[in-house]
Chains A and B, each alone.
Chain A
């Protein structure tokens, strides 16, 4: 009885798994198929022609480069600024620390889509429309509430005594942070930077609104301009482009999975 129920449940699970996999399979198979169409087809002959086509296109490469610049700069800024802001929250025993922390948590949940309308107005007023720098600053800001919240939680796990010992030995706060706290916080910093990078890498709406010149667009918007606007789509190169674009995110995700689950348990996680 028990085993029969188990077999049935396993069958249901496998069916669900396959169901979720089918749409994804199209893009994997299509990327190796020069004659890819909209439906799943096993390629008659596997080839990397699609990939060659994509990586020989300068404009596409530029898109990847811009994604790296934006996501990289954003992650770096979020990590540094979050650490700086989280430090007093975790260490100074401030009366308002909890209020501040929960206000930050409140900000993490504000729908970004709705914020873009006023932010665009502000970018017009500040003359920042189509500025990569402005886009990075804004995206850094969107990453901060969650970044500070996570960094604070990780900082709380690093014992204060070690730092105090360093102070007695004559270290400044800056030295005690860089020499003692940072090495102990490696998992936390990895989590924050990878989380920020992956979200930034996949972000479409912000650069779609704030950037205009084709040379400044990151891969997410470029792929839309490249394939979404055209009447006739070449599905092979589209699939290859998609795989290349997804690759860094998937790689970082699998690399960070252990750290991430720790961060999840600690912070309850925000929607990705």
Chain B
């Protein structure tokens, strides 16, 4: 009896104009997403083909200029330099720094004493939960001429250096590693905890050494975590703005101007909207490609 009533109740809910009801539930989210996400993305495509500016004669009327923004962008040696700086920054701070080191830390921390795991974990996570702007202040002081780094190496007899002027790119790379490593580390820790001890023991009994275990068991088993963190770290590094802008302002003379900083300068300081949009378009295209990889990796997870 109760079964049929329940079934009928469920049927009733199911058939009562499900799609219309679903639409009603979606509506608030949809309005916002279309207004502030989808529409701006279309704007990017549209404006990157016009000569729009924020001030001057081109502010009111803007004309279709075809690919000239993109040609201008790619011909600009400053843009090409920004691409190069971004790639170096990405490779050293994102891929090698955050991802490889994060994996290495997670591996080292496996099966260690709880107190040590806690201490190391906390000190790495501290940077991660610190707001970007505070990280920038922390490293501005750390790398300053009379800052902590010089104090430390001074005890070894090395003369103080103004790090942000002498080695600007290295400095922001270190700062970004400090800031971001926790994410990869946490992801890898979770993945490593998921590998059962039995598999490891079995292969050890079969005569595999720890390096072989790593190469043939651990890494293949957490391949997916590698792709997910790779995409997220890359996206995060591409979008890094505050850390660089507040530390070096993109300088000295463009040495730390990544795509994000370059785009900000063009769109919000020089007011060349079309040019800025073209850079935004390129960044979004890279982002979209990475996002598709991310979704594919997550799909495999489900």
Q: Which residues of A contact B (CB under 8 A)?
A: 9-10, 12-14, 16-18, 20-24, 26-27, 37-40, 81-82, 84-85, 87-88, 92-94, 102, 105-107, 109-115, 117-122, 124, 137-138, 140-142, 144-145, 148, 164-165, 167-168, 173, 198, 201-202, 204-205, 209, 220-221, 223-224, 227-228, 235, 238, 242, 245-246, 249-250, 253, 261, 264-265, 268-272
Contact flags B97-122 to A (C-beta < 8 A → 1, else 0)? 00000000100110011001001101
Chain A residue nearest in CB terms to B139: A23
Question: Which residues does chain A contribute within 8 Å of B128, judged by CB atoms?
Answer: 272
A-B pair number, CB within 8 angstroms: 272
Tell me the complex Cα distance, A88–B27, Å: 11
Flag if A88 contacts B25 (CB, 8 Å): yes
- Residues of chain A contacted by B6 (CB below 8 angstroms): 164-165, 168
Note all chain B residues with C-beta closer than 8 A to A242: 134, 137-138
**A109-B287, A205-B242, A264-B187 known; 15 other A-B pairs, CB under 8 Å?**
A22-B152, A23-B138, A26-B141, A85-B25, A93-B14, A102-B299, A110-B37, A114-B287, A115-B40, A119-B40, A141-B35, A144-B29, A242-B138, A268-B298, A271-B232
Asked if B90 is an interface residue, CB under 8 A from chain A, the answer is no
Question: Is B82 in contact with chain A by the CB < 8 A criterion?
Answer: no
CB-contact partner of A271 in B22, B120, B122, B236, under 8 A? B236
Q: Is residue B204 within 8 Å, beta carbon to beta carbon, of the partner chain?
A: no
- What CA separation (Å) do A18 and B122 show in the bound complex? 11
Which residues of B have CB within 8 Å of A16? 105, 120, 124
B190 at the interface (CB under 8 A from A): yes
In the assembled complex, the CB of B96 is this many whole angstroms from the nearest CB of chain A, namely: 15
In this assembly, does B212 line the interface, its C-beta being within 8 Å of a C-beta of chain A? Answer: no
Most chain A C-beta atoms within 10 Å of own C-beta, residue among B52, B150, B241? B241
Neighbouring B residues of A141 by C-beta, 8 Å? 32-33, 35-37
CA distance A140 to B31 in the complex (A): 12
Given contacts A38-B148, A122-B40, A272-B183, contact A17 B277 (CB under 8 A): no
